[in-house]
């Protein structure tokens, strides 16, 4: 079973629309970390946010906002007033403690967002 599920493979919107990217995770740990990364066509991963399991406070950063709900094991990402430059693949990731003690991240399959002008 996947630990991180991004059910939306591809989303296509028109500029200025709001869009929400879903992320559902699965873990038995009480301490874990969730991330969102952006991968533009150039390929380099860009860090967007990290959340630890004890901090359910939602966060807003400019046009980006994140909704972390432990009750539903979800960590959704919303882009408000989308722009063409937002077009990229977005990855959600879960970092939990491995048997050796180190935290190992697992990535979802990614959601390709296409913003049309």
Partner 1 sequence: GAVVSQHPSRVICKSGTSVKIECRSLDFQATTMFWYRQFPKQSLMLMATSNEGSKATYEQGVEKDKFLINHASLTLSTLTVTSAHPEDSSFYICSARRGAGGTYEQYFGPGTRLTVT
Residues that bind partner 1 (CB under 8 A): 31-33, 35, 37, 42-45, 47, 50, 52, 91, 95-97, 100-110, 112
Minimum CB–partner distance for residue 104 and partner 1 (Å): 6
Which of 8, 80 has the CB closer to partner 1? 8
CA-closest candidate to residue 86, choices 104, 107, 112: 112
Which of 76, 111 has the CB closer to partner 1? 111
Minimum CB–partner distance for residue 74 and partner 1 (Å): 18
Which of 15, 49 has the CB closer to partner 1? 49
* Neighbouring C-alpha atoms within 13 Å toward the C-beta of 53: 17
Copy the structure tokens of residue 108. 């979802």
């Amino acid at each position: 079973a996947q630990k991180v599920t991004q059910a939306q493979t591809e989303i296509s919107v028109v500029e200025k629309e709001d869009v929400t990217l879903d992320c559902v995770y699965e873990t038995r740990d009480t301490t874990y970390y969730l991330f969102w990364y952006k991968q533009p066509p150039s390929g380099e991963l860009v860090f967007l946010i990290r959340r630890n399991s004890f901090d359910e406070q939602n966060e807003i950063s400019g046009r980006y906002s994140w909704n972390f709900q432990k009750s539903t094991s979800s960590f959704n990402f919303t882009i408000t007033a989308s722009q063409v430059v937002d077009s990229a693949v977005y990855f959600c990731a879960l970092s939990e403690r491995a048997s050796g003690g180190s935290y190992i991240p697992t990535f979802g399959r990614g959601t390709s967002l296409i913003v049309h002008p």
